[in-house]
Chains A and B, each alone.
Chain A
Amino acid sequence: MLTGLLYCSVPVTGMGQQVGAYGVQDTLRSGFSSVKNELLPSHALELSEKNFQLNQDKMNFSNLRNIQGLHAPLKLQMEYRAARQIQRLPFLQSSHLALDTLKGNDESISFEDILNDPSQSEMVGEPHVMMEYKLGLM
């Protein structure tokens, strides 16, 4: 019933590969690009899921701003920014305890916690590449 709808045929933006220096496709690190890969999402939900957390935050902050004034989202975002910095090096597993507590993720379970748990994944990120990316040396 649903299998016919899984392959999406509507082209969208936002699926593009990471751009390297000078705004050009980074062939060395992300391989050759194909127009089909960049334009067509592989699943109807792919784009919506990629940006879900961002969109939720945007919506919540704008609601908060309308109800309580500009100070409320400003303070919260400052706290989030501070909490996001409490983490280990990028290729190691960080618990994000402070960030989760602020966002309320410590009191809920969703598919992010059950499926594809990064701490259980069989592949590990390359330490040097990830550190260079984090420090902006790439």
Chain B
Amino acid sequence: RKMATLSVCQPQLGGFSFENCKRNAVLEAEVTKLGCNVPSARKTGTTICGVVFKDGIVLGADTRATEGMIVADKNCSKIHYISPNIYCCGAGTAADTEMTTQIISSNLELHSLSTSRLPRVATANRMLKQMLFRYQGHIGAALVLGGVDCNGPHLYSIYPHGSTDKLPYVTMGSGSLAAMAVFEDRYKQDMEEEDAKRLVRDAIAAGIFNDLGSGSNIDLCVITKGRVDYLRPHDMANKKGVRTGNYKYKQGTTGVLTKSVIKLDLEVVEETVQTMDTS
């Protein structure tokens, strides 16, 4: 068995490879000269938000993923699992948020196995910001990180270049201004769970109805000490209409003029039995 060999002196390393960047730049220049467009990454032009209430955190997100001007996914899940007590909403490039949250979730799991303690939200925040800063914003992931640990409920917002804010209520994404308007009007300290859920639902709904990049349903995630409620979907703000008319024809609408039946003569040539291992 032969493998192709490379005339290199040193072994290859893993991680990002920038070999094709120059070629891609040349290709892009050629394509734009012809007047076509390079395919764009799928973004999650989004409304995500989070709020701290009396016993914990409520995270909310819409469910639309866009690819330029087209809706790529009508019901995508933007609230990602990080650890049993920490969840993270992601806005920006869909692949980046997905991979980033999965990598940090794995690292946190290894860390918590090594320390044999429940992970803290500040740890996840520090890991995320160090990774995003390392890649200088080229990883387009804007995140809302929330969870409850031994020190109480914490909520962070993390920007693609690596800056973070620790606040009682945060919004991110293209619909963040609409959602923030709702928060600024009605946020109160130490709310009850039902009030907090209603506030987050209204904030996401404001983003859905006033921003083109957000739409479809509202997902909520309520995190309290020892309990996580992942409500997907919590509210279907945009239901697709049901067709009122039936455009199928009844059997017998078309009159039958003649009917002829031709029998196909098949003869059995070979019969084999293959036993399956169903144990």
Contacts and interface: CB of A to CB of B under 8 A. Distances in A.
Interface string A70-112: 0000000000000000000011000000000000000111111
Main secondary structure of the interface of B (DSSP, over half): loop
Nearest to B40: A3
Interface in B82-123: 103, 106-107, 110-111, 114
B7 to A, nearest CB: 5
A42 B22 contact: yes
Contacts of B10: 90, 130, 133
B225 interface: no
A29 to B, nearest CB: 6
B18 A46 contact: yes
B107 A29 contact: no
Q: Find the residue from B4, B6, B110, B111 having the highest chain A CB count within 10 A.
A: B6
Interface string A23-45: 00000010000000000011111
Contact of B12 (A7, A114, A118): A118
A57 B137 CA distance: 23
Contacts of A111: 14-16, 103
Contacts of A91: 11
A54 interface: no
B18 A43 contact: yes
B18 A125 contact: no
A45 B136 CA distance: 8
A21 interface: no
A121 B110 contact: no
A116 B12 contact: yes
Interface of A: 1-3, 6-7, 18, 29, 41-46, 48-49, 52, 90-91, 107-118, 121-126, 129-130, 133, 138
